[in-house]
Structure 1
């Protein structure tokens, strides 16, 4: 079955009781199943709550502008409207905050204001932010060695790496991020984190990791000296989370709740997926509502709003830029688990596969969040078109 856009006929996936077309456990995050599953993760895998607490909700005043017909470019570079691009790029939710006010908000594919949506690697930026909060209080130190916190990793590729190397994904650890290879390291993460069963038809003698920390301990190789170069590897964020858990004696979900989610005025509790050892997947298992992702972005835009140290955010916006950093972001950079769009705006971005994005721009005082269910892990065309649309929105709201 092929995937479907919001403007197309929706197949009866998980409709009825029992459902007419149930989502397969081995492929729930792949198209077309992801179009349903990313809003129903708790019905598929184990999760743990990130409590919002009992404090007041941060209100988001409305100053709405109808941008549906705004002129943008589609993924092929042809003229289009914003509503057309949102449809083309399999959007589930899209929101724009300008000066902390909702300028534009749209929901599709059955999503509502209260629907939690899987963020994929946006979770990395959430985790990195909490590390920054802890670092500001001296609980963790990015200059220390990873093994100062987790001595067991002295026999792994992280031996000799600092925590800052992990934050910036510049360790030399050998790790394959080949999403379509079930035997790749990231493919093994799918099994270790509890997202997927052992793939059918694989070598019965292969020893699949039982949980994420077991997989980390198996990664003994390196490809370069620590600090020599950036290479995107999801497992770095999981190592970072274990550093935080060792330093505090608290689980990641509790840390995110106490240090971040309860303080930003989140409207709903969030949640992480968890593995068989109870570990919350820092590299991609975070789920929250569209508006709460926007509240998180607004907190960063307000230089931490007294929650995140302002100097940590300032440091995060200073990375080593291109040239040819990536196909979709040639002048980009990466720092403290955030992407930096270019050296001029130094706008921060949280990005996840299948089209998740939080874009935070100090020049325009704008936060944009896009939650999607693309039919492929990554798409340069959709990424470029979305960034161009964000800039067109900024011009329209200037």
Structure 2
């Protein structure tokens, strides 16, 4: 079955009692199933709460502008409107904050202001920000070897790598981020994380990892010297999270709750998916509401708001840039678990597969959040069109 856009008829996924169309365990994250699943993770996978606490909620003022008809380009470069692009790119929620106020907010595909939506790899930036808080406190030194904190990794490809190498994804550890290959390293993450069962019909001699740390310990090879080049590998974020847990004696969900979520004035408690050992999946298992993702982006735009160290954010905005950094970010860079759009704007980005985005731009004083459920893991044309639309919104709002 193919996926469907918001303007198209909606199949009765998980409708009725009992429902007749239930997402398959092996493909719940693929279209069309992800259009339902990304908003209902707690009904599919085991999760742990990231408590918002009993404190304040950061209320947004509203200075709304109707941007539905804003002229932008679609994924083929043809003229369309912002509303048209949001439909084309399988949008579930879209938020624009200008000067800390809501300028534009749209919910699609059944999503509401209270719905938790899967972040995919935007979770890396959440994890990296809490890491920055701990580093600012002197609990972790990014210049030290990874094995200072996780001595077990001396027998892995991380031997000789610094923590900063892990933060920037410049270790030489061999790891395949081939999403469509179920036997690739990232395919094994699906099983180790508890997201997917062992694929039916798989080689009975193949030993699948039972949890995330077991998979980390198996990664013993390197493909280059540490620090030589950036290569996007999700497992690096999980290494960071285990360092954080080892140093503090607390689990990741508790750290994110106490150090970040209770302080940014969240509307709702968030959650992480967990593996069989109770480990919260740092590289992509975080779930939160549209506005709370906006609150996180605004906190970063406010140079940490006294929560994340301002010097950590400044350092994060400085990276080794292109050319040809990535197909959708030719002048981009990567630092401290954030993407940097280009060396001129130094705008930060949290990005995740299937179309997740938080764009944070100091020049326009704007945060844009897009939550999506693309049919495919990556669609470069959708990503490029979305970035052009973000710039068009910035120009329109002045």
TM-score by length of 2: 1.00
Return the offset for 1:20: 1.8
Structure-2 residue corresponding to 1:124: 124
Structure-1 residue corresponding to 2:252: 252
Structure-1 residue corresponding to 2:162: 162
Return the offset for 1:210: 0.3
1:101-123 CA distance string (max 9 Å, x none)? 00000000000000000000000
Structure-2 residue corresponding to 1:275: 275
Tell me the SS of whatever aligns to 2:133.
helix
1:201-220 CA distance string (max 9 Å, x none)? 11011100000000000000
Structure-2 residue corresponding to 1:310: 310
Structure-2 residue corresponding to 1:69: 69
Structure-2 residue corresponding to 1:23: 23
Return the offset for 1:307: 0.4
Q: Map residues 281-292 of structure 1 onto 2, 5 A cutoff.
A: 281-292=281-292
Q: Map residues 31-46 of structure 1 onto 2, 5 A cutoff.
A: 31-46=31-46
Tell me the SS of whatever aligns to 1:132.
helix
CA distance in 1, matches of 2:23, 2:216: 30
Return the offset for 1:279: 0.3
Report whether the alignment pairs 1:341 with 2:345. Answer: no
CA distance in 2, matches of 1:201, 1:35: 27
Tell me the SS of whatever aligns to 2:96.
strand
CA root-mean-square deviation: 0.4
Q: How many residues align?
A: 398
Return the offset for 1:23: 1.0
Structure-2 residue corresponding to 1:95: 95
Return the offset for 1:238: 0.2
Return the offset for 1:258: 0.3
Tell me the SS of whatever aligns to 1:63.
coil
Return the offset for 1:222: 0.1
Structure-1 residue corresponding to 2:198: 198
Structure-1 residue corresponding to 2:357: 357
Structure-1 residue corresponding to 2:211: 211
Return the offset for 1:72: 0.2
1:5-55 CA distance string (max 9 Å, x none)? 000000001000010211111111111100000000000010000000010
Report whether the alignment pairs 1:142 with 2:139. Answer: no
CA distance in 2, matches of 1:267, 1:18: 32
Structure-1 residue corresponding to 2:366: 366
TM-score by length of 1: 1.00
Greater than 6 Å deviation, 4+ residue runs: none
CA distance in 1, matches of 2:178, 2:210: 20
Report whether the alignment pairs 1:82 with 2:99. Answer: no
Structure-1 residue corresponding to 2:221: 221
Tell me the SS of whatever aligns to 2:204.
coil
CA distance in 1, matches of 2:30, 2:146: 34
Tell me the SS of whatever aligns to 1:368.
strand
CA distance in 2, matches of 1:143, 1:52: 32
Tell me the SS of whatever aligns to 2:97.
strand
Q: Unpaired segments of 5 or more residues in structure 1?
A: none
Structure-2 residue corresponding to 1:332: 332
Return the offset for 1:146: 0.5
CA distance in 1, matches of 2:276, 2:375: 29
Structure-2 residue corresponding to 1:112: 112
CA distance in 1, matches of 2:140, 2:287: 25
Structure-2 residue corresponding to 1:379: 379
